[in-house]
Structure 1
Amino acid sequence: MKALVLAGGIGSRLRPITHTFAKQLLPIANKPVLFYGLESIRDAGIREVGIVVGDTTAKEIEAAVGDGSEFGLEVTYIFQQEPRGLAHAVIISRDYLGDDDFVMYLGDNFVIGGISDFVDRFRREGPQAQVMLTKVTDPQAFGVAELGEDGAIVGVEEKPQHPTGDLVLIGVYAFDSTVHQAVLEIKPSRRNELEITDAIQWLIDHGHRVDPMVTSGYWRDAGSVHDILAVNRFVLEGIEPAVAGEVDAVSELIGHVVVEEGAVVADSKIVGPVVLGAGSVVRGSFVGPFTSIDRDCVVIDSEIEHSIVLRGAHIESVARLEQSLIGRETRVVATQDVSKTHRFILGDHNNVQVGR
């Protein structure tokens, strides 16, 4: 069995940060969201992984993942010239997949508990397809599955205006080779994409077995700032405190705080859960709960909480930052009194001046 990981999306809901950064590499508790998916695939006993990449993601993702050996995987990269839908990704991956069964996993997905049970059930039951479902409050934003009285899937529809229920597909699928015929039979949707939901419906209409697996566990499509911050909060809630860096005598660490090797905390208060990356410096500052600060960052005379700070960012003399996503090598520096609280969504290499 193989895995097909889709990592070619441009991340339009996360702009401007995704103009210069692959959304699949945005850090959750200082680890790229894509890595959580790759680890789940490995833990499910799958070793061969094809990663679909596009123009805006290929170089960064290949540099981050390499040949996959760091994860115990054998990774092959499959180039998609333009994002034309999930079913199109299956079409261009046919040579790699051959006739093997495979799991398809969206690279910006975060599924707590992994996919081992999902994969085991598919192997054990042997349907032509299996989809992971969960209940949501806004089903019109997703692919919606309709179940019959016997619990089987009788229909699926992508982003319907009038959903038939609240069970939605969350970006984890398993297929046998029958899907390769299905993706060639469907037509582009109103979005001009080849939808995997249409391919699944084709399988149903032609008498093939499509099984649901409903999960009540934590899941997020980490495709927006709100979702990224929510996933970061969820992961940080489970961290164990560890101090490998330097913390001076006047600083205070409260709760679950990770200070990685090479990081420095001076004259500051950190209230966890918080992760401070290697080589970063926090001086004369307050870092509040649910904050992850990546490698080589600087926070001086500032307050920040419930935020994600990417590698190399510099924050100085800022009265308060909350619910912010700060891009790589970005500078946020105060100038004069204007406001007490700020919220930012900043791309890489910005220089922002705010009131103090």
Structure 2
Amino acid sequence: MKGLIVCAGKGTRLRPFTLTRPKTLLPVANKPILFYAIEKLAAEGIHEIGIVIHPSQEKMIRGAAGSGERFGVSLTYLYQQEPRGIADAVAAAEDYIGQSDFILLLGDNLIKEPLKTLIDLLKHSAACILLNHVENPQQFGVAEINETRIISLEEKPRFPKSNLAVVGSYAFKAGIFNYFRALTVSERGELEITDAIQRLIDSGERVAYAITRERCSDVGTSERWLAANSWMMDELYGGKSEIAEESTLVNCTVQAPVAIGPGCALKNCTIGPYVSVMSGARLEECHLAHSILLRNVTISGTGEEVIAGIFGDEASITGTSVKGPIALKIGGDQG
């Protein structure tokens, strides 16, 4: 069995943060989202993994993940020349996958459910999809189920037949590419993976499903990114904090969980809960909660008022002066 991770999207809803790095390299709990997907596949003994990227992303993604040696896997980079949908990205991997069964993950999704759930169900099905109950099914691919199988799929329906959303984790038997080749462009201008799977269903093949009760996040907006950062910090740190030895804190209050990377200097600050700081931050006389700080952020002189949000590389708040890529909320309910 092989793994496939789709990473070629532009991440337009996360601009300006995705202007300087691919969405799948945005950090959650100070680790790129992509790394969680690679580690999840490796945990199931899947050591051959293809990563579908746009050529413009290659330098950064290959630079971050390398050949896969650090994860104990072999990474092969594949190319989607234009962002024409998930199905088009999967089709770009046909030669790489060959006759292997494979697990498909979306590189901007975080899913706690073990992949073994899908792998086990695939033994008796042509495909298996992970589903989750959601409050806003109109924003997802939606499944209609009958007993142990899926009977229909629809992408972002106006009138959903259920609240069971496809959450970005799939298992396929070899041969699925026959259905991808037959696709035509949808009304959204994309080749939809839900259409490919619907063709599989219509041909009489069994498509199984698992409904996860575990946490999962589609990191597609600033709000979802912050939410994913919070629950992942709970998972990783369990109410504790992780502070790099190379960083210094002077007269600071830390409200766990907090993650602070190397080369940071904090003075007279209250930090947390749910604050992750990548590296090189300079923080003084401020109060941060529910925040993500990328590299070399400067915040000073904001006093006791709580600041919550996302701070891009080189962003700064000095008193009332605000510079750089920032999505923040000052004061009020920080959730």
Which string of whole-angstrom CA distances, capped at 9 and with x for unpartnered residues, describes residues 133-172 of structure 1? 1110100100000012x33111001000100001111111
Equivalent residue in structure 2 for 1:191, among 188, 191, 205: 188
- Establish whether residue 324 from structure 1 lines up as the match of residue 304 from structure 2: no
CA distance in 1, matches of 2:234, 2:44: 24
Alignment correspondent of 1:65: 65
TM-score of the pair, normalised by structure 2: 0.93
CA contact (8 A) 2:2 2:48 kept: yes
- Establish whether residue 346 from structure 1 lines up as the match of residue 326 from structure 2: yes
Deviates more, 1:53-62 or 1:304-313: 53-62
CA distance in 2, matches of 1:36, 1:114: 12
Q: State the shift of 1:58 in Å.
A: 2.2
Which string of whole-angstrom CA distances, capped at 9 and with x for unpartnered residues, describes residues 79-128 of structure 1? 11111111111221111111111111000110114323322332xx2311
- Establish whether residue 18 from structure 1 lines up as the match of residue 27 from structure 2: no
- Establish whether residue 142 from structure 1 lines up as the match of residue 140 from structure 2: yes
Distance 1:35 1:321, change over 3 A: farther
Equivalent residue in structure 2 for 1:292, among 263, 266, 276: 276
Structure 1: tracts of 5 or more residues without a match: 242-254, 337-341
CA contact (8 A) 1:44 1:119 kept: no
CA contact (8 A) 2:141 2:154 kept: yes
CA distance in 2, matches of 1:178, 1:23: 30
CA contact (8 A) 1:324 1:345 kept: no
SS in 1 for 2:225: helix
- Establish whether residue 207 from structure 1 lines up as the match of residue 204 from structure 2: yes
- Establish whether residue 264 from structure 1 lines up as the match of residue 248 from structure 2: yes
SS in 1 for 2:100: coil
Structure 2: tracts of 5 or more residues without a match: 331-335
Q: State the shift of 1:56 in Å.
A: 4.3
Task: Give the aligned residue type for 2:138.
Answer: Q
Q: State the shift of 1:279 in Å.
A: 1.3
SS in 1 for 2:299: strand
Task: Give the aligned residue type for 2:13.
Answer: R
- Establish whether residue 45 from structure 1 lines up as the match of residue 29 from structure 2: no
* Correspondence list, 1:80-229, <5 A: 80-122=80-122, 125-148=123-146, 150-229=147-226
Alignment correspondent of 1:333: 318
Structure of greater Rg: 1
TM-score of the pair, normalised by structure 1: 0.87
Aligned length: 327
CA contact (8 A) 2:297 2:312 kept: yes
CA contact (8 A) 2:113 2:212 kept: no
CA contact (8 A) 1:229 1:323 kept: no
Distance 1:298 1:116, change over 3 A: farther
CA distance in 2, matches of 1:325, 1:8: 23
Give the percent of matched residue pairs that are identical in Structure 1 and Structure 2.
36
Task: Give the aligned residue type for 2:88.
Answer: H
Distance 1:195 1:302, change over 3 A: same
Distance 1:334 1:159, change over 3 A: same
Which string of whole-angstrom CA distances, capped at 9 and with x for unpartnered residues, describes residues 27-75 of structure 1? 1111111111111110011000000111443221111000011011100
Alignment correspondent of 2:290: 306
SS in 2 for 1:226: helix
CA distance in 1, matches of 2:92, 2:232: 34
CA contact (8 A) 2:34 2:108 kept: yes
Q: State the shift of 1:266 in Å.
A: 0.5
Q: State the shift of 1:257 in Å.
A: 2.1
Alignment correspondent of 1:249: none
